[in-house]
Amino acid sequence: MTVPQWALLGFAVWTLLVLFGTVGVYRWSRILTGRVSISEWQADRPQGSDWYQRAMRAHMNCVENLPVFAAIVLCATAAGADSHLLDWLAGAILVGRICQTTVHLALTPSDLAVSIRFAFFFVQAIGMLAMAAFVAISAAG
């Protein structure tokens, strides 16, 4: 497997870990201790503590960005694009995702926390755009 493919696998695993390690633990700890019934959890209304709601948003951020990264890695694979630049960008995207999620979970919203979180998102966005451009140029030439 290439480094971008490993990074994609890491991104997918991170997305699952965030789901099970935050949302899952929060919900099941309340269900198993009898504080709520399983049917009380509804996706279309805000529930739980502020931290739980941040965990839900952090997980959804992962879910929203995973297909974009997957499409870029798929195109890189199909085009046979391979370089140290792609490897570095893919690694930066994965690290940026993990850092963004961690900040989202660890820090309550403030101007500083949101700015840090955005900086890590920006690293991912620029990394994905750069990867896509490199793949397009490689495929065209």
Q: pLDDT for 40-53, tens place per residue?
A: 878 777 888 899 99
Enter the DSSP assignment of 49.
-
| Burial class of 132 by CB neighbour count within 10 A (0 to 12, 13 to 18, 19+) | middle
Q: What is the pLDDT of residues 114-123, one digit of tens each?
A: 999 999 999 9
pTM of the model: 0.91
- What type of residue sits at position 126? I
Alpha carbons 82 and 93: distance in angstroms, whole number: 16
**Cα(32)–Cα(38) distance, rounded to whole angstroms?**
9
Domain architecture of the chain: domains with CATH: 3-140 (1.20.120.550)
Are 131 and 77 a contacting pair, CB within 8 Å? Answer: no
Segment 88-136, tens digit of pLDDT = 999 999 999 999 999 999 999 999 999 999 999 999 999 999 999 999 9
